[in-house]
Amino acid sequence: MTQLVIIGIYLSLLLFLGVFSSRLFKGTSKDYMLASHSIGPFLLLMSIFGTTMTAFALVGSSGEAYKEGVGVYGMLASSSGIIHSLCFFLLGIKLWSWGHKYGYTTQIQFFRERLESDRIGIILFPILVGLVIPYLLIGVMSSGVVISSITEGAFENSFAAYDYGVPPWLGSLVISLVVLIYVFFGGMRGTAWANTFQTIVFMILGVVTFFVISSKLGGLQAASHAVLERNPSKLMRAVDPKDRERYAEKYKTWTLIAKYNYATRILKTLKLTPEQKAEAYKAFKPRMPNWQNTAEAVYAADNNLYELTSEEVNKALLTQDDRVMPDPFPEKYQMGLMSHHELKEYPRKANAEKEKAMLIFGGKIGHPTHDLDPDDPSKGKKWTIKKALGVYRASNWAPDAPHPMSKLVFFTYFFVPLSVGMFPHLFQHWLTARSAGTFKLPVVAHPLFIMIVWVPCVLVGVWATSAMFNGSPLFPPHFPANAVLAAMVKKMTSPVLAGFLTAGILAAIMSSLDSQFLCIGTMFTEDIVVHYGGKDRFTDKQVVLMARMFIILVVAITYGFSLLEPRRVFTLGVWCFSGFSSLFPIIFAAVYWKRLTKAGAYAGVLVAIGSWLYLFKEAKYALNPNYTFLGMMPVATMVVASATAMILVSLITRPPSKETLVRFFPED
Amino acid sequence: MRYAVYGLVVVLIIIHQDNWLWDDKRLILGFMPITLLYQAGISMGAAFVWFLATKFAWPHHLEEIAQESPAQESPAQESGETE
């Protein structure tokens, strides 16, 4: 409950800030959308940084480091330090100068004039809004997960289905409403102020979290040495032989369990006698909650008590891992055994883990502060549903195979941060700058700020792989990556600190949501309503009202998606960024290539979005987190394809008019 | 000097790949994985290169252009159509 109160106070503070900044609101749509070009270097740095660092940076980076190791930093953070500032430097300043000179508020206004095409807006508007929605989704979804994880057991009788904490759908809803309210009142000025405040909050609290967690793990050195001992592959990008050996042993044991379960539960050709079971348990050292099953499986295998055909073994593996059984069963698996890699090609059955976990551990699930056995408190507390799911996954599913990071994937990740050049919300932030000189501080400090936020998050995620707590691993195998940071904060800090740290995580999330909310409202009014309705048809008050209404509509749609969305934050983020990156060649050419034509830009946009849709579908709509195309990140193909189409078509079509070229390239 | 700054950006992009640390799990100062420390160094290097860019490659003329004619309305916006 303490955490909930602190989060409530923090959200109230934000609302106050939004309302206060509205007192400075000049009442014009320009002030609402661009803060009247009044933002100085510090506010610009904080608002740009706060906007680019979202749940992806805190929740996603720690979760991905937990899964993939320290290589995550080089893959995305250090490359972003180079590329983001490059985009601010090469694109931001030029676009700011044109925006200031010609009165642009949105990207589409710029493209319409630079490309001498009104209809480009009709294509770009749905694409940009469509790509912002998954970006919003990351924030909305993560905020619900974080609040839910941190408030487990906060209520005595309510929300039993959510471990007596705030349900994710409610957490996401509250965060969306709070951000909506302060964006409504404060507009761009409120957003810039709130971003600055929230960026300071999450940077300070992030560093505090890092040191609190490291001290709970016995200090920086002890935390890292535990990883070196138990999961050395997480400290590099190759696979350590020790991890490979451990995995081979675990997979072998898991195969025995799968076969034993299949023989006893599905075929019913084997049933151990009580004496055999007693002998099996006697020879086994208990480690996991479901250890008896493992002991029986090892005993049955050692004593050759059953025999299965290749087809039966393969079906046993698929059943044990909750995979969908292929129908008809492939011929090749009727004769030979499938590898772990081949096994993973079959998707897991939806909800299988929940149904089975409830069936097996239903009697142990309850309020996490209540004793499992009221007459014997030494047996511990009741299990949360999340714990039951975790124990089920850890004791039933195949162990994760260690895998090296591909050099080609690492290199082609470099294309992902190019997305910053096409983020519509960042374009709008650039235009708020008071002068070109305002950009100097963001350009220089951005890579350092990324380092301050990402290095601790990546280390915490890596430590989580090997951390022990009260004598047992802090996280069982297959623990959901998105919940790693929140779970560590909850388990390893006091309720008061956990409340503050959660506020810090929410700050990072909200500082991106607000800019995105404002940007989509701005695009709708400027690029659709005012553009097609006529500039003098609506009063400024009506324009602001329409922006607000459209924001509500998009937030409602995003919120609806968040109720269905199960994907990893990091994977979803990478797809969203890849879409924006695939449009990067168009904005870059628009700024630096005089020969870019209207037709060339259309070709680039259509190829970008066409290749994105195709590859996104191939990756099973982000459900496959390790999807690559030609061994590379899909974004590399999208960027090259869109650039090629744009260049070729531009070269064979009529160049832009002299008037347009003089307007945008006067120095030449 | 402007080209030297752009050259440094290219160098940063090349050394970012750090193939030479791919299978190195050493801990520096007893806690910092060497690959993470190296990449953090790339972030600091990037900040320094961008600092040089603000000193030697800054487009001062853009500021002057914008100040000469702040927030003019574009002809296209006035007419509402460009095509």
The closest of B53, B41, B74, B50 to B3, measured between CA atoms, is: B53
Tell me: pLDDT of B81 over 50.
Answer: no
Residue B73 lies in a domain: no
State residue B73's pLDDT score. Answer: 44
Number of domains into which chain B is organized: 1
Residues 6+ apart with CB under 8 A from A174: A11, A147
Cα–Cα dist A216/A468, whole Å: 10
> What average pLDDT score do residues A133-152 get?
83
Integer Cα distance of A359 and A14 in angstroms? 43
| Domain ranges (residues) in chain A | 38-226+420-563, 241-396
Q: B17 contacts in A (CB within 8 Å)?
A: 407, 410-411
Tokens found for residue B31: 């806690």
pTM: 0.86
Question: Contact, A389 vs A353, CB < 8 A?
Answer: yes
Instruction: Please give the pLDDT value at position A193.
Output: 77
Q: Would the pLDDT of B79 be above 50?
A: no
Residue A295: phi, psi to the nearest 5? -60, -45
Cα A75 off chain centre by: 15
What is the predicted pLDDT for the residue at A579?
Answer: 93
B19 falls within a domain: yes
- Residue B72 inside a domain? The answer is no
Task: Read off the pLDDT band of B63 (50, 70, 90).
Answer: low
Of A82, A237, A458, the CB nearest to B13: A82
Lowest mean per-residue pLDDT among A304-308, A394-398, A468-472: A468-472
The span from the CA of A64 to the CA of A71, in Å, is 10
* pLDDT for position A56: 67
> Is the pLDDT confidence value at A333 over 80?
yes
What is the reported pLDDT for A626?
76
B31·A220 Cβ contact <8 A: yes
SS (H, E, C) B10-61: HHHHHHCCCHHHCCCCCEECCCEEHHHHHHHHHHHHHHHHHHHHHHHCCCHH
Which domain does B52 fall in, by range? 1-59
Do A257 and A320 contact (CB within 8 A), yes or no?
Answer: yes
What is the Cα gyration radius of chain A? Answer: 27
Residue B17 lies in a domain: yes
Give the SS3 label for residue A494.
coil
Count the helix, strand and coil residues of chain A and give each as a percent rounded to the nearest 5. 75, 0, 25
Asked if A435 and B16 come within 8 Å (Cβ–Cβ), the reply is no
Q: Which residues of B touch A117 (CB under 8 A)?
A: 82-83
Q: How many CB atoms lie within 10 A of CB A226?
A: 17
Angle value at C-alpha A136, between A132 and A141, nearest 5 degrees:
150
Q: Which residue has the higher pLDDT, A134 or A320?
A: A320
> What gap in Å lies between CA A41 and CA A446, rounded to an integer?
12
Name chain B contacts of A458, Cβ cutoff 8 Å. Answer: 36
Note whether residue B21 is domain-resident: yes
Nearest-by-CA chain B residue for A432: B71
Question: Which carries the bigger pLDDT value, residue A199 or residue A413?
Answer: A413
pLDDT at residue number A373:
84
Share of chain A above pLDDT 90, in %: 33
CA distance A352 to A364: 19
Nearest C-alpha in A relative to B39: A74
| Mean pLDDT lowest among A344-353, A443-452, A538-547, B42-51 | A538-547
B66 to A70: CB separation less than 8 angstroms, yes or no = no
pLDDT per residue as tens digits for the range A172-194: 899 888 888 877 777 777 777 77
Contact A403, A373 (CB under 8 A): no
**How many beta-carbon contacts under 8 Å exist across A and B?**
173
Quick one: DSSP state of residue A471?
A: T
Give yes or no for residue A364 having a pLDDT over 80.
Answer: yes
pLDDT value at A445 more than 90: yes
Mean pLDDT of A238-253: 92
Report whether the peptide linkage leading into residue A274 is cis, meaning its omega lies within 30 degrees of zero: no
**Closest CA relative to residue A196, chosen from A502, A500, A429:** A429
Report, as an integer, the average pLDDT of A524-529.
Answer: 86
> Is residue B67, in this structure, part of any structural domain at all?
no
Whole-number Å distance between alpha carbons of A621 and A72: 22
Q: What is the mean pLDDT of residues B54-68?
A: 75
Contacts of B28 in chain A (CB under 8 A): none
User: Would you say residue B11 lies in a domain?
Assistant: yes
d(CA A407, CA A632): 9
Give the best-scoring range by mean pLDDT among A382-396, A516-530, B24-38.
B24-38
SS3 for A348?
Answer: strand
Neighbours of A73 (CB within 10 A): 31
The verdict on residue B81 lying in a domain is no
Lowest mean pLDDT among A249-253, A419-423, A537-541: A537-541
Q: What CA–CA distance (Å, rounded) separates A338 from A343?
A: 6
Per-residue confidence at A288, pLDDT binned at 50, 70, 90? low
| Nearest by Cα to A438 from A34, A39, A87 | A39
Extract the tokens encoding A479: 């623990």
State which CATH number among 1.10.3470.10, 3.40.50.1240, 3.40.190.10, 1.20.1730.10 fits the domain covering A38-226+420-563.
1.20.1730.10
Mean pLDDT to the nearest integer, A545-555:
83
